[in-house]
Chains A and B, each alone.
Chain A
Amino acid sequence: MQEVMKKALELLQNGTVSRILGWKTGDFFYDLTPAVFESAEEVEKDFVFSPFCGANLSKYLIKESRKEGKIAVFLKPCDSYSFVQLLKEHRIIRDNVYVVGVACDGMCDIEKMKELGVKGVTAVREDGENLVCETLYGEKTVARKDALLERCVSCKSKKVVMFDEMLGENGEENPESHRFDKVAELEAMTPDERFAFWQNELSRCIRCNACRNVCPACSCEKCVFDNANSGIANKAAVTSFEEQNFHIIRAFHVASRCTDCGECSRVCPQHIPLHLLNRKFIKDINELYGEYQAGADMDTKPPLMNFTKDDCEPSIVHERGGDK
């Protein structure tokens, strides 16, 4: 924490950058807001790096890198994949960004802590492997590992894939993340069971668009679902078909560009496991086109934006039994 803030101050004071993109303190320790800091005073007053810095800052750089002057950004490993993917899509002006990679032990989720029965949390402090919460009803302790965001439980990589400077030691990819386990479980269901699973999950959707708006892969200037001229613009699901339509179209659109950063599920007010739709695509792409990780490097082409003679044929759907 101290080290990250010190770096932010140093970069401002030595003139490397004129702005810092980081996380701003809230009222309860857990309620941080992404923010741009323009002076050392602002940083000293409000800059935070804590176990509640889940928010991925990469997408803000689409706008921020187009402003005058250079901006420094702190990227956790998973955020750095989004950053590289956005660079590949020419959405961020690299020269205007100074990337500081930060090592990450996983970020925590206040909603998960509340599910564990910790209510009325007015403050949280770290104590070794535990989070000690002051609440309206006395002190409660939660093991940090039980409070981790879903995406951190099955963390795919602790490696910051692009940086100008790294704070702490860079980590490694984690092939043992088990992130496709739940997808495999869904694949093992009968089509009717699977349909029921998704219908149940998606029926809770309130079309707040938080998943889309936070998604670094959703960077269209005007989303087709907001465009009155598209014929499919919609603010609410008017039929159960449309409930599914929005999420499935979105998953298709980000397929092979989605880095599996998990922001969609983090922000969903209805706790819909949206990342599973994206992971299904990632798993299929791995199986049909060879292992591919979006945002891992600047050189490889996303399989669905590329053509090779080895690409699978549409008949694969039939060959796989049509119900995978």
Chain B
Amino acid sequence: MKKLSLSKLNELFSALSQKGELYIPADEKNGQAKFTLWQEGLSMTENLNTVRSAKDLFFPQVEQMVDFKVSGKEIEIVENRHTAEDFIIFGVRACDAKSFEILDRVFLSEPVDTFYKERRDHATVVTLACDKPEETCFCTAFGIDASNPAGDVSAWKVGEELYLRANTEKGEKLLSSLNLEDADESAVEETKAEIKKTLEKLPFGKLNLNGFDGEHLMEKFNRPEWAELSEACLGCGTCTFVCPTCQCYDVKDFDTGSGVQRYRCWDSCMYSDFTMMAHGTNRPTQKERFRQRFMHKLVYFPSNNDGIYGCVGCGRCLQKCPIHMNIVKVAKTLGEGEK
């Protein structure tokens, strides 16, 4: 365990930025934070979390794959994929840190997604314990402990100090390269206990997910309540795009006039043309699209991934859905718990 005075946070950022690009959550606009490339003068947000999740740094919304240049009858293939260098993400919350494990299961299983792996391999993740969870947080329902976040390094704000603990070899390497004071693990115990007390009070912290598994797939799929739950859904992509675990993408060609830019971009199962095929779509109305999103997170994903849900309870969709329909309301309606 190491420590540093919070008044020296800027110096820490400066030192970290010497080791590679450093991203920290910073305010873009009132109440709206984003993981932003650190440069002198940028300070960390006071907000609990960013609007978009930290997945952006491994799986950006738009990623160039390859270019084709056409001249006459010649087509030239231009490799332009991003090659990552070592970089650091500071201030990732426990929920987002957990989401990387979920994304890893998708992108790092065979066939490995080399675009994702490139970025993942070069990143060092420094997490930050949550001092002020929001009412929309329910990470505890997924066994995540926001008082003791994962990542290569975990950090805690305690009074005027920042405490840092290395969890992995990468984290060890990072901390030992910095000029930090030694500290005792017990220094953060009180803070952890306080956070735990707040976590106990989270209204959805004990969300009952019994019965959301492969065994109950058809039972859940055929529930009549989907019609009512999806009734007001606008079919926008807000929930999917602020979600740290949504991982669907589309591959598109952009006509430059003299060739093609092939890129991939986030897709949303809420969209009418999602997985459109030659014969049309197999999800003709918003009900089927809506059902797909929640079935994927609560039933399909865990049944294919050792019971791990495709949700980390970050609460972004609860905050941002224009009609306030969300995974908690779905789980309560279709689940075995309190309605």
A-side interface residues toward B, CB under 8 Å?
Answer: 26-28, 31-36, 55, 60, 111, 114-115, 119-122, 135-137, 204, 206-210, 212-214, 222, 226, 228, 231, 233-239, 266-267, 269-271
Q: How far is the CB of B283 from chain A (nearest CB, A)?
A: 14
**15 A–B contacts from the bound complex (CB under 8 Å):** A27-B328, A28-B203, A33-B232, A33-B329, A55-B323, A136-B133, A136-B134, A208-B236, A208-B240, A228-B276, A231-B255, A235-B265, A238-B254, A238-B261, A239-B254
Q: Are A214 and B51 in contact (CB under 8 A)?
A: no
Q: Are A120 and B134 in contact (CB under 8 A)?
A: yes
Q: Could you say which residues of chain B place their CB within 8 Å of the CB of A237? A: 62
CA distance A137 to B28 in the complex (A): 26
Q: Are A271 and B32 in contact (CB under 8 A)?
A: yes
Known: A207-B237, A238-B261. 13 other contacts (CB 8 A): A26-B324, A33-B324, A119-B48, A204-B28, A206-B61, A208-B237, A208-B241, A210-B236, A210-B237, A213-B235, A235-B266, A239-B254, A266-B322
CA distance A214 to B62 in the complex (A): 24
Interface flags, B263-278, vs A, CB<8A=1, else 0? 1011110011100100
Q: Are A121 and B252 in contact (CB under 8 A)?
A: no
Is B29 at the interface (CB under 8 A from chain A)?
yes
Which of A115, A136, A213 makes the CB contact (< 8 A) with B236?
A: A213
Q: Could you say which residues of chain A place their CB within 8 Å of the CB of B265? A: 235-236, 238
Q: Which residue of B lies closest to A233 (CB)?
A: B273
Given A26-B324, A269-B242, A270-B51: A36 in contact with B252 (beta carbons within 8 A)? no
Q: Could you say which residues of chain A place their CB within 8 Å of the CB of B132? A: 119-120, 137
Q: Could you say which residues of chain B place their CB within 8 Å of the CB of A32? A: 324
CA distance A55 to B321 in the complex (A): 12
Q: Which residue of A lies closest to B324 (CB)?
A: A31
Q: Are B31 and A114 in contact (CB under 8 A)?
A: yes
CA distance A204 to B35 in the complex (A): 12
B-side interface residues toward A, CB under 8 Å?
Answer: 28-32, 34, 48, 51-52, 61-62, 132-135, 198, 201-204, 228, 231-232, 234-238, 240-242, 250, 252, 254-255, 261, 263, 265-268, 271-273, 276, 318-320, 322-325, 328-329
Q: Are A35 and B232 in contact (CB under 8 A)?
A: yes
Q: Are A235 and B250 in contact (CB under 8 A)?
A: yes
Q: Are B31 and A36 in contact (CB under 8 A)?
A: no
Q: Could you say which residues of chain B place their CB within 8 Å of the CB of A206? A: 52, 61, 237, 241-242
Q: How far is the CB of A24 from chain B (nearest CB, A)?
A: 8
Which of A226, A236, A266, A269 makes the CB contact (< 8 A) with B272?
A: A226
Query: Which of B32, B204, B236, B254 has the most CB atoms of chain A within a 10 A radius of its CB?
Result: B236
Q: How far is the CB of A29 from chain B (nearest CB, A)?
A: 11
CA distance A28 to B321 in the complex (A): 14
Q: Which residue of B lies closest to A137 (CB)?
A: B132
Q: Which residue of B lies closest to A31 (CB)?
A: B324
Given A26-B324, A36-B231: A270 in contact with B32 (beta carbons within 8 A)? yes
CA distance A34 to B324 in the complex (A): 9
Query: Which of B198, B241, B250, B328 has the most CB atoms of chain A within a 10 A radius of its CB?
Result: B241
CA distance A55 to B232 in the complex (A): 11
Q: Are B324 and A120 in contact (CB under 8 A)?
A: no
Q: Are A121 and B135 in contact (CB under 8 A)?
A: yes
Q: How far is the CB of B115 from chain A (nearest CB, A)?
A: 15
Q: Could you say which residues of chain B place their CB within 8 Å of the CB of A28? A: 135, 203
Q: Which residue of A lies closest to B199 (CB)?
A: A136
Q: Could you say which residues of chain B place their CB within 8 Å of the CB of A236? A: 61-62, 265-266
Q: Could you say which residues of chain A place their CB within 8 Å of the CB of B34? A: 204
Which of A36, A235, A271 makes the CB contact (< 8 A) with B267?
A: A235
Q: How far is the CB of A229 from chain B (nearest CB, A)?
A: 11
Q: Are A136 and B52 in contact (CB under 8 A)?
A: no
Q: Are A136 and B323 in contact (CB under 8 A)?
A: no
Given A120-B133, A121-B135, A226-B273: A235 in contact with B252 (beta carbons within 8 A)? yes
Q: Could you say which residues of chain B place their CB within 8 Å of the CB of A270? A: 29, 32, 51
CA distance A33 to B250 in the complex (A): 30
Q: Are B325 and A33 in contact (CB under 8 A)?
A: yes
Q: How far is the CB of A261 from chain B (nearest CB, A)?
A: 13
Q: Are B29 and A119 in contact (CB under 8 A)?
A: no
User: 4 closest Cβ contacts across the A-B interface?
Assistant: A236-B265, A267-B322, A31-B324, A210-B236
Q: Which residue of B lies closest to A122 (CB)?
A: B135
CA distance A31 to B238 in the complex (A): 16
Q: Could you say which residues of chain B place their CB within 8 Å of the CB of A239? A: 254
Q: Could you say which residues of chain B place their CB within 8 Å of the CB of A55? A: 322-323
Q: Could you say which residues of chain B place their CB within 8 Å of the CB of A27? A: 203-204, 328-329
Q: Which residue of B lies closest to A272 (CB)?
A: B29
CA distance A266 to B321 in the complex (A): 11
Q: Which residue of B lies closest to A212 (CB)?
A: B236
Q: Could you say which residues of chain B place their CB within 8 Å of the CB of A208? A: 236-238, 240-241, 268
CA distance A210 to B13 in the complex (A): 36
Which of A135, A204, A231, A269 makes the CB contact (< 8 A) with B238?
A: A269
Q: Are A34 and B254 in contact (CB under 8 A)?
A: no
Q: How far is the CB of B315 from chain A (nearest CB, A)?
A: 11
Q: Are A214 and B236 in contact (CB under 8 A)?
A: yes
Query: Which of B30, B134, B135, B265 has the most CB atoms of chain A within a 10 A radius of its CB?
Result: B135
Q: Could you say which residues of chain A place their CB within 8 Å of the CB of B48? A: 119
Q: Could you say which residues of chain A place their CB within 8 Å of the CB of B238? A: 208, 210, 267, 269
Q: Are A234 and B203 in contact (CB under 8 A)?
A: no
Q: Which residue of B lies closest to A227 (CB)?
A: B273
Q: Which residue of A lies closest to B325 (CB)?
A: A33
Q: Could you say which residues of chain B place their CB within 8 Å of the CB of A33? A: 232, 323-325, 329
Q: Are A204 and B232 in contact (CB under 8 A)?
A: no
Q: How far is the CB of A56 from chain B (nearest CB, A)?
A: 11
CA distance A236 to B51 in the complex (A): 17
